Structure 1
């Protein structure tokens, strides 16, 4: 489906190129733009609709998995928590 134009209406002018969606203005959107590969505490809080403090509390209680590295989780580590 590379370089195919997508439909009409709201999608008019959008195209797919490789693993990216290209907007009519030429901006490229990759899968990680929609679903990050790594999450910080702030990212996870936003995704779950809670405060960063709530995430910090869950970390202290041990109800979240430990960080994978650099105070970040890989998507695969926390995907079971995401809506």
Structure 2
């Protein structure tokens, strides 16, 4: 791996990550608060149950933040479509 590639990789990740997050917000976070509510998620996945949402809502605040969404996706609890 070249030195340039080692330096550019973190920069590219920092540039791409917010773009992906914004795309997710547009598709799911209807009210733009940066959190995912049960109704917002159920609108894109009609099979989502309140029980499943509660399992994903680790802090119990009734909303999923980015960390909870990532953890749920990684655990296979909330598969995300690519478009």
| Shorter-chain TM-score above 0.5 | no
Shorter-normalised TM range: 0.3 to 0.5
Normalised to the residue count of structure 1, the TM-score between the two structures is: 0.38
Which is richer in helix?
Answer: 2
Normalised to the residue count of structure 2, the TM-score between the two structures is: 0.38
Q: Which structure is larger by alpha-carbon Rg, 1 or 2?
A: 1
Which is richer in strand?
Answer: 1
